[in-house]
Chain A
Amino acid sequence: MSRYRYPSIPESQVTPRELFESRRRFLNTGLALGAAAVAPGLLWPRSSHAWQGVLEARLDTQLPSHDLAGGEAPTSLRDITTYNNFYEFGTGKRDPETFAHRLVTDPWSLTIEGEVDKAGTFALEDVLKHQELEERIYRLRCVEAWSKVVPWIGFPLANLLKRHEPTSRARYVVFESIHDPDNLRGQRRSVLDWPYREVLRIDEAMHPLTLLAVGLYGEILPNQSGAPIRLVVPWKYGFKSIKSIVRISLVEERPPSSWEERNPEEYGFYANVNPQVDHPRWSQARERRIGESGRRETLMFNGYADEVAHLYAGMDLQRHY
């Protein structure tokens, strides 16, 4: 099977970031001047690259950064973007890197519906313009017993949900990923019941650690990492952190999440990182940190127990895994 290979360029031929950006600024200025001169009154269609421009401008500003991974060095960008589970592109770890260019992310809209007072479908740039962005460095622990440290850029999910005013009947938040089998080759086979779906309890969704990410390492989120907007729930196994979200529904009764539906014995609804509850087929006591040799001990709630343990007070975590 032949596979597309990214051409590798020697370091000496890579344009330095400042040069690249000054060229972009130069071009943008030129374009703006030209447009202002030639086309006053002409309405430029802004359907394409609508949110990317908005986000790029925001990423160029100094964003607050919060280290929530105990000072550990982030995993390299290369490792973060070349070793992924994103079954929409295939089940191999390198399939997302190879095939993610087929994902069309701009224009993008997000539907917010169900038990909210302000439901609707919103262009991503309109969603973003109300949100303060920040960098958050989180540990990420996959159910397959590997982990990374990831510098995300995003905003708390709670800030978005509050804007849409959940009703008192909103007990769960359901997320749905894009469904586009023409471009997402993994969706042509029913490995999972597409589109991918994840669910959080409303208090988990409103928790300040729960993030909607739109950036990584100071740049727009790469497609294979779940562009343009994805969930990050750092105390749960990675599969809960759904990628490329198109729909958020607030509901009273919850549907099963995709992996839970596929195999409820192995992938629970809560899926909290817990070294004491093994996956039926492998141990969850240790993990492989990508980029390191050897194994580390897995931390309860992935090291976020102080912040989130109270959400599960009194629950039997062996049963509610």
Chain B
Amino acid sequence: MDRRTANNLFRLLVLVGCSAPAAWLGWQWFFGDLGAVPGEAVVHFTGKTGLILLLLTIAFSPAFRFTGWVGFMAARRQIGLWAFFWLVAHMLAWMGLDQYWDWPWIRREMVELPYIRYGVAALLLLVPLAVTSFERVRKAMGWTAWHWLHRLIYVAAALGVTHLWILTRADYLLPMLFAAVLAALTLFRLIDAAIHRQ
């Protein structure tokens, strides 16, 4: 298999892997398998999927560094946009299925509840990254500026993990797992940068 075919196959795999959860969710919704409060199940599922994809996006660079396989870089923009898609879906699900488009309350919760604030901040930080993810914009910005801007993904992921952490009631297994993965990825990035500077 030549390199281009391999990259395209991997991109296809990312496409299927990132869209399949939507099909699963739709299926469960349609057949009433999401439990007594389906709206809440959708909010939780979209949030977790988005956060996992965000961490996977970050993980694609070290995966490239370790394996040297360019397929990871070829699919990085796509998976990053999928993470953004799922997190936007998460916010819309919260507004529609949890808050029932009650704008005064949505505004109030955004102002008053710290975990909502962290979540909104994370999503806002991702907007410029999504907008500048296209080849033409990237070229126009120049590589250095683009690179600096896209380091915001670490901040957004940290805000996302914080959001999950502070809405957890007692069982911290999942937020601790996410925090550990993000810490490992950040550490790798710092070490990698230090080595390359020398």
Tell me the A residues contacting B by CB distance below 8 Å: 78-79, 82-83, 87, 91, 93-94, 144, 146, 189, 191-192, 262-263, 281-283, 286, 288, 290-291, 293-295
Q: For A281, what are the chain B residues with a Cβ–Cβ distance below 8 Å?
A: 113-115, 166-167
CA distance A191 to B171 in the complex (A): 6
Would you list which residues of chain B between 106 and 124 have a CB under 8 Å from chain A?
108-109, 112-115
Cβ of B163 to closest chain A Cβ, rounded Å: 11
Cβ of A201 to closest chain B Cβ, rounded Å: 25
Closest to A78 in B: B36
- Contact (Cβ within 8 A) A295 B37: no
- Please tell me if B142 contacts chain A, counting CB pairs below 8 Å: no
- Please tell me if B23 contacts chain A, counting CB pairs below 8 Å: no
Closest to B34 in A: A94
Would you list which residues of chain B between 157 and 188 have a CB under 8 Å from chain A?
166-167, 169-171, 173
- Contact (Cβ within 8 A) B36 A83: yes
- Contact (Cβ within 8 A) B100 A82: no
Closest to B97 in A: A293
Cβ of B166 to closest chain A Cβ, rounded Å: 7
How many interface contacts (CB-CB < 8 Å) are there between A and B? Answer: 46
CA distance A95 to B35 in the complex (A): 11
- Please tell me if B192 contacts chain A, counting CB pairs below 8 Å: no
Please classify the interface of chain A as helix (H, G, I), strand (E, B), loop, or mixed, using the class held by over half of its residues. Answer: loop
- Contact (Cβ within 8 A) B113 A290: no
Q: For B39, what are the chain A residues with a Cβ–Cβ distance below 8 Å?
A: 293
Q: How large is the interface on B (under 10, 10 to 19, 20 to 34, 35 or more residues)?
A: 10 to 19
Q: For A263, what are the chain B residues with a Cβ–Cβ distance below 8 Å?
A: 170
Per-position binary interface string of chain B over residues 34-60, scored 1 when its CB falls under 8 Å from any chain A CB and 0 otherwise = 011101000000000000000000000
Q: For A144, what are the chain B residues with a Cβ–Cβ distance below 8 Å?
A: 169
CA distance A262 to B112 in the complex (A): 24
CA distance A182 to B31 in the complex (A): 34
CA distance A83 to B36 in the complex (A): 6
Cβ of B127 to closest chain A Cβ, rounded Å: 26
Cβ of B107 to closest chain A Cβ, rounded Å: 13
CA distance A263 to B171 in the complex (A): 13
A283-B112, A288-B37 known; A87 vs B170 contact (CB < 8 Å) = yes
Besides A78-B36, A94-B35, A283-B112, 6 other A-B contacts (C-beta < 8 A): A91-B169, A93-B35, A283-B108, A286-B105, A290-B36, A290-B37
- Contact (Cβ within 8 A) A82 B170: no
A191-B171, A192-B170, A262-B170 known; A282 vs B35 contact (CB < 8 Å) = no
Cβ of B48 to closest chain A Cβ, rounded Å: 12
Q: For B108, what are the chain A residues with a Cβ–Cβ distance below 8 Å?
A: 283
**Which of B37, B100, B167 gathers the greatest number of chain A CB atoms within 10 Å?**
B37
Cβ of B35 to closest chain A Cβ, rounded Å: 6
Cβ of B55 to closest chain A Cβ, rounded Å: 19
A281-B113, A283-B109, A295-B100 known; A91 vs B37 contact (CB < 8 Å) = no
Q: For A189, what are the chain B residues with a Cβ–Cβ distance below 8 Å?
A: 171, 173
Question: What are 22 contact pairs spanning A and B, CB under 8 A?
Answer: A82-B35, A82-B36, A83-B36, A87-B170, A144-B169, A146-B37, A189-B171, A189-B173, A191-B171, A192-B170, A262-B170, A263-B170, A283-B109, A283-B113, A288-B37, A290-B36, A290-B37, A293-B39, A293-B100, A294-B100, A295-B100, A295-B102
